[in-house]
C-alpha cells in the first residue's frame, strides 16, 4: 500500500506546552477507561485512528465548500499539503501533511495528463540491443514522469531510454505510456524493424565409441540442430580417410588405433558447424577353431540278430586336442539308411547318433555317417582338418 496524505496523530508520551495534558488529539468519544459507550466526553488519543478523522474532516469541508467528486477532493488535498519529505510524493509522507486552510483557500486546478512520445520508427538487428528514446514525452504541469514500455514481443521495460534485443527478425509495434504521478498518458506507438540474422546450426557427432577391428559401428548425427532453419547436409570424416554422408551412417575400421570422427553439418543458409567424437579400435581376440577328431561307427543288433542298426560317436576337439562341449553337430546317414540328425556334444566333446534299424541286412551292408557341419557361437569349424565321416559294414 502507499501513503497519499499524512495528518497529525498525536503523541501521548510528551506534554510540550506544560498544560498537564499529553499531546494527543482531543476526541469526543466514549470513555476509553471504562469502555462505557453511553459515557461520552473529550479524551486525548494518538495514532492512525486520530489522523484519519482529520483528513476525513478536511475532505468534508472541501465538499461543503464546493469541491465536486473524489478526484477534485484528492487534487485539493494533495496539491496543498505541507511537503515534509523529498519534493513531491514520497513513501513516508505521501504528498505531505494535510493543510485544511490551504485546501479551503486553494483554487481547484485540474491535473493535465502527460503526453507520451515513443519516437521512432526504429531499426535493428536480431540479437543486438535496440535503444529507445522517450525523451520527447512531457507533462503540461511539469510533473515528473515515469515511463512504461511494451516492446511488442512479450517483453517490457521502463525508463526514458531503455534497450531491448529481439531474438527474431520482423516488425514489432512498440508502445509507450507515461504517468505524472496522477494520470496515465494516452499510449503512443511506433515500430521497430528487426533484420533477421541466420543462426548457425549446431553439430552433434554423438558419443565417443569403442569397437574391434572389422566391427561395423553406427554413427548418429540426429542430435544436431538448426535453431532457425533446417540442416541440409551431414558430412562425416572417420579419421582413416573414410567418409560418408547422411544423418546416420556406418563404418568399420581395418586397423587398431584411436580415431577422431568429425561431423560437419550445413544449414539452408550455408552456415556450417562441426563436432567430433573419439573412436577407440582394438584388435579382435583370436577366434578359436574346432575339429571333428573322430567318427566311430559301430553295429548294434537286437532280437538275436534279426534287427541291426548303427551308432556313430562323433568327437569334437579344439586345436590343442581338448574336448569342446556344447558344439552342435549336424550330419546324415548314407548307404544302408538315410536321414539327417543333429545334437550337441557333452562336456567330453562327444555326441552319439543312431541310424534306422534294418531287418536281417545281408553281409556287406554298409552304414555311413557323414558330418555336415559343427556350430558353436564364437568358434570356427575347420572341416579341412576334420574326420568328416565314418562307416561300418555287416560281416
- What value does the mean pLDDT take over residues 59-74? 81
Q: pLDDT, tens digit, for every residue of 273-327?
A: 999 999 999 998 889 999 999 999 999 998 776 899 999 999 999 999 999 999 9
Alpha-carbon gap, residue 34 to 142, rounded angstroms: 54
Residues in the chain, total: 395
Q: Check pLDDT > 70 for residue 95.
A: yes
The predicted pLDDT at position 346 comes to 98
CATH code of the domain occupying 289-393:
2.60.40.10
Answer whether 122-195 and 289-393 agree in fold.
Answer: yes
What's the CATH number of domain 122-195, 3.40.430.10, 2.60.40.10, 3.40.190.10, 3.10.25.10? 2.60.40.10
Q: Check pLDDT > 90 for residue 230.
A: yes
3-state secondary structure of 195: strand
Q: Which fold has domain 209-282?
A: Immunoglobulin-like (2.60.40)
Supply angle C-alpha 211, 212, 214, rounded to 5. 120
CB 4 within 8 Å of CB 88: no
Domain spans in the chain, listed from the N-terminal domain onward: 25-105, 122-195, 209-282, 289-393
**Residue 74: pLDDT band by 50, 70, 90 thresholds?**
confident
Q: What cell numbers appear for 244 in the block?
A: 560418408
Cα–Cα distance list, 241 to 105, 199, 222, 236, 247 (Å): 97, 31, 23, 10, 19
Q: pLDDT, tens digit, for every residue of 323-358?
A: 999 999 999 999 999 999 999 999 999 999 999 999
Alpha-carbon gap, residue 328 to 350, rounded angstroms: 10
The predicted pLDDT at position 36 comes to 81
Give the number of other CB atoms < 10 A from CB of residue 347. Answer: 9
Amino acid at each position: 500500500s502507499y501513503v497519499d496524505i499524512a495528518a497529525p496523530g498525536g503523541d501521548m508520551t510528551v506534554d510540550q506546552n506544560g498544560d498537564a495534558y499529553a499531546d494527543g488529539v482531543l476526541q469526543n468519544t466514549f470513555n476509553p477507561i471504562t469502555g462505557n459507550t453511553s459515557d461520552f466526553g473529550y479524551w486525548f488519543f494518538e495514532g492512525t485512528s486520530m489522523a484519519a478523522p482529520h483528513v476525513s474532516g478536511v475532505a468534508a469541508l472541501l465538499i461543503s465548500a464546493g469541491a465536486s467528486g473524489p478526484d477534485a477532493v484528492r487534487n485539493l488535498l494533495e496539491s496543498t499539503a505541507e511537503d515534509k519529505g523529498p519534493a513531491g510524493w514520497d513513501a513516508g509522507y505521501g504528498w505531505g501533511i494535510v493543510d485544511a486552510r490551504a485546501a479551503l483557500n486553494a483554487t481547484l486546478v485540474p491535473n493535465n495528463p502527460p503526453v507520451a512520445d515513443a519516437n521512432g520508427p526504429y531499426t535493428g538487428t536480431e540479437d543486438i540491443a535496440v535503444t529507445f528514446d522517450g525523451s520527447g514525452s512531457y507533462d503540461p504541469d511539469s510533473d515528473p514522469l515515469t515511463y512504461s514500455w511494451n516492446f511488442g514481443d512479450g517483453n517490457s521495460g521502463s525508463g526514458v531510454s531503455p534497450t531491448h534485443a529481439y531474438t527474431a527478425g520482423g516488425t514489432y509495434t512498440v508502445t509507450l505510456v507515461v504517468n505524472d504521478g496522477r494520470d496515465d498518458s494516452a499510449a503512443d506507438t511506433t515500430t521497430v524493424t528487426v533484420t533477421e540474422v541466420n543462426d548457425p546450426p549446431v553439430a552433434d557427432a554423438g558419443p565417443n565409441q569403442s569397437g574391434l577391428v572389422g566391427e561395423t559401428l553406427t554413427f548418429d548425427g540426429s542430435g544436431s540442430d538448426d535453431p532457425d532453419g533446417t540442416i541440409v547436409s551431414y558430412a562425416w570424416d572417420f579419421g582413416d580417410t573414410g567418409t560418408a554422408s547422411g544423418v546416420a551412417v556406418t563404418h568399420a575400421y581395418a586397423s587398431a588405433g584411436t580415431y577422431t570422427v568429425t561431423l560437419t553439418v550445413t544449414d539452408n543458409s550455408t552456415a556450417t558447424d562441426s563436432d567430433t567424437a573419439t573412436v577407440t579400435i582394438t584388435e579382435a581376440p583370436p577366434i578359436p577353431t574346432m575339429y571333428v577328431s573322430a567318427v566311430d561307427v559301430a553295429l548294434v543288433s537286437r532280437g538275436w540278430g534279426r534287427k541291426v542298426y548303427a551308432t556313430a560317436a562323433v568327437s569334437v576337439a579344439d586345436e590343442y586336442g581338448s574336448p569342446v562341449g556344447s558344439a552342435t553337430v549336424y550330419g546324415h546317414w548314407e548307404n544302408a539308411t538315410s536321414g539327417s540328425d543333429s545334437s550337441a556334444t557333452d562336456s567330453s566333446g562327444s555326441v552319439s547318433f543312431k541310424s534306422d534299424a534294418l531287418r536281417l541286412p545281408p553281409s556287406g551292408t554298409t552304414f555311413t555317417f557323414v558330418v555336415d557341419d559343427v556350430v558353436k557361437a564364437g568358434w570356427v569349424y575347420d572341416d579341412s582338418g576334420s574326420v568328416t565321416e565314418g562307416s561300418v559294414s555287416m560281416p
